[in-house]
Structure 1
Amino acid sequence: MLLMIVKKLSPQGGLRLNKNGIISLGEVIVDMISKDKTNKNFQPFLGGATVNLAVGVKRLGVNSFYLCKLGTDETSEFVKESFNNEEVCLDYCTHSSAKKNCKVYVHQDQNGERVFHSYINPTPNEWLTENELAKELFDKGKIFYFGSGTLFHETSLKTTEKALDYANETNIFVAFDVNIRLKRWESEEQCKKTITSFLNRADLVKMAEEELLFLTESKEINEAIEKISKYNIPYLIITKGSAGACVYYDGKALCVPGVEVKAIDTTGAGDAFLAALLYCYHEKGRPNTSAQMEEFLHFANQAGANATTRVGAL
């Protein structure tokens, strides 16, 4: 079904500019996912929101460029081999012998749902620096994507700001996934303040309902939408899990229901959703009508639903 929608969204007469490809800035994470509810046995998966998106857009047929700092140890070689197998371009990454990959431990609760448990970074000061960013990549890319995983550390925060400067100078579409993981932040206040400072620097911002309520300190959605409207986000995407997603743009609101599947593992569903949505923007440009916007969201919902039918973020 997903392939059929891809074909529908990619007519010969679609938007074709000189720029091409989606640039993802982030950090490679190895997801250690619990095999059962005892949360004692774990299986490793290549993960991290920006990794999931970079792989997702490439699987949909769009050139994908990943920006990060990589190590040289055995785990890093596994990461590079995995990226190469997915044909994601790592040519603009840097390497450091001191760099070790981050790990995230994902537990199962009593209902079998995946729960983020802990984040471990063995080399907290090894990040891609602003001086290591390749400006020429922004001259060729069509979309730049980043998440909050590059904002909680001072070095990566500055790198993200520089990348956004390059994106602005080269006039490419910017997408921001809020994707809050509070265990990475020093405090809730620091998290809110930092993330909200980036909301007006993106053309498209995606967040879950609970993230919207958290950032706006609201108790219900309408209140939260009113508060966040001051940031003038061109496309605000609010995901609602299996219930689907809503988009707020041009003073309008459009909600599209989710796609029913037999879910096994919800890890990475939001990343698959956004990968599919950015695929649509890359191939078709900004939606011209409500019908086209609905088509984009339906396609993204389908991709997000498909991602839950197998174990692992990819």
Structure 2
Amino acid sequence: MTPLIAFGEALVDMLSNRLDGAADDLPETFTPYAGGAPANVAVACARLGLPSRFLGMVGEDRFGDFLVEELARHGVMVEDVCRTREARTALAFVSRDAHGERRFDFYRPPAADLLYRLEHLPAGIFAEPTILHLCSNSLTDEAIAETTLSIAEIARRGEALVSVDANLRANLWPDARVDIGRVTALLDQAHLLKLSREELDLLRGDHEAEAWLQWRLAAGVRLIVITDGPAPVAVHRLGQVLHIDPPQVRAVDTTAGGDAFIGGLLAQLAAADVTASTFSDWCQDEDRLRRAVELACRCGAFAVTRPGAYSALPTRDDLDAMT
């Protein structure tokens, strides 16, 4: 199996007990759940039985302890998680509407995950074939962006298969303005790229969607998957687009849906020993690709029916019970 390495933020989602607009005389309370998009993906793969490790930095505080313990409890290797006293672990206060859609209020920056630097990267980590997964939330200030883009370049030189989920959160960026050029620079380091429909529309600007996607494919991306809530997933590869219907479920909390989806897809690549050098050939088998995306859709559908992130991610037994 090809091991997965996820790099970026681990943070604590403080999930509200109250749905937006609900009549409730009780005080609003928040329950802590371990989260952070790349950390979620590491857990998603581990819960599906794949070797998975997390790279990042958390504070030397109770929330940092909580995250490391939760990652390890779900089977993620945490030996290379760094700790710091220079900043606290990031928090995200999450409110939900009646459909499980979320509103985030982030306590970041400052935050510990933004202090990770190349000097913290373990020597030789990309010496063997691996899958590296990244998100755009480690691009939100200049120093961590430089680190993230450098890690992606090092991984590519080491022939790692690079996966990127845009996972845009505008309110993490200065003045809530996403640096589209910086994000695109990371997207173009990917072999596998995941976007939501809303992210595609933001990133492409005034360009036609198809033209923008073709530019990414021409830059070296081999597979682009575009999710759109309960609508069909669009799967783009050179010369062909597939549309795959996800299972229809009642969403309770969409926090981990996209991470469960990409984690499920990466777990299948890892289980099949797919590497950067074999990924293009893997993508050309339409039946295999369709089955892989269908399973990823099931992972996402399972996750949104439960609150939180790590504990909402499916195991193999959970997926078998859905059929």
Match of 2:13 among 31, 41, 46: 31
Q: Residue in 1 aligned with 2:261?
A: 273
The C-alpha deviation readout for 1:31-52, integer Å capped at 9, x for no partner, is 0111113693211100111111
Aligned residues: CA RMSD? 1.9
Structure 2: 5+ residue stretches without partners = 21-26, 311-323
Match of 2:119 among 101, 120, 131: 131
Looking at structure 2, the residues matched to 134 and 305 of structure 1 have their Cα atoms a distance apart, in angstroms, of 35
Q: Residue in 1 aligned with 2:314?
A: none
1:148 aligns with 2:136: yes
Looking at structure 2, the residues matched to 65 and 25 of structure 1 have their Cα atoms a distance apart, in angstroms, of 9
**Offset of residue 187 of structure 1:** 4.7
Looking at structure 1, the residues matched to 193 and 123 of structure 2 have their Cα atoms a distance apart, in angstroms, of 23
Q: Residue in 1 aligned with 2:106?
A: 119
The C-alpha deviation readout for 1:156-184, integer Å capped at 9, x for no partner, is 11211221122122101000000000001
Q: Residue in 2 aligned with 1:70?
A: 58
- Matched residue SS, 1:295: helix
Q: Normalising by the residue count of structure 1, what TM-score does the alignment of the two structures yield?
A: 0.87
Q: Residue in 2 aligned with 1:54?
A: 42
Percent of aligned positions that are identical = 27
The C-alpha deviation readout for 1:1-54, integer Å capped at 9, x for no partner, is xxxxxxxxxxxxxxx5xxx31010011110011111369321110011111101
Structure 1: 5+ residue stretches without partners = 1-15
Looking at structure 2, the residues matched to 254 and 66 of structure 1 have their Cα atoms a distance apart, in angstroms, of 31
Asked if 2 retains the 8 angstrom alpha-carbon contact of 1:143 and 1:173, the reply is yes
1:197 aligns with 2:182: no
**Offset of residue 66 of structure 1:** 0.5
Looking at structure 2, the residues matched to 115 and 189 of structure 1 have their Cα atoms a distance apart, in angstroms, of 19
Asked if 1 retains the 8 angstrom alpha-carbon contact of 2:223 and 2:236, the reply is yes
The C-alpha deviation readout for 1:102-145, integer Å capped at 9, x for no partner, is 11111123x34332231112634752111211132212351001
Match of 2:293 among 272, 286, 297: 297
- Matched residue SS, 1:145: strand
How many matched pairs?
292
Looking at structure 1, the residues matched to 258 and 168 of structure 2 have their Cα atoms a distance apart, in angstroms, of 12
Asked if 2 retains the 8 angstrom alpha-carbon contact of 1:22 and 1:141, the reply is no
- Matched residue SS, 2:127: helix
Match of 2:167 among 155, 172, 179: 179
Looking at structure 2, the residues matched to 112 and 239 of structure 1 have their Cα atoms a distance apart, in angstroms, of 17
Looking at structure 1, the residues matched to 17 and 226 of structure 2 have their Cα atoms a distance apart, in angstroms, of 30
1:7-26 → structure 2 map (5 Å cutoff): 20-26=2-8
Larger CA deviation: 158-167 vs 249-258: 158-167
Looking at structure 2, the residues matched to 185 and 115 of structure 1 have their Cα atoms a distance apart, in angstroms, of 18
- Matched residue SS, 2:148: helix
Asked if 2 retains the 8 angstrom alpha-carbon contact of 1:246 and 1:255, the reply is yes
Match of 2:213 among 228, 235, 238: 228
Residues 297 and 218 (structure 1 numbering): CA distance in 2 closer, same or farther, change over 3 Å?
farther
- Matched residue SS, 1:35: strand
Larger CA deviation: 129-138 vs 198-207: 129-138
Looking at structure 2, the residues matched to 116 and 292 of structure 1 have their Cα atoms a distance apart, in angstroms, of 36
Q: Normalising by the residue count of structure 2, what TM-score does the alignment of the two structures yield?
A: 0.85
**Offset of residue 229 of structure 1:** 1.4
Runs of 4+ in 1 over 4 A off after TM superposition: 187-190
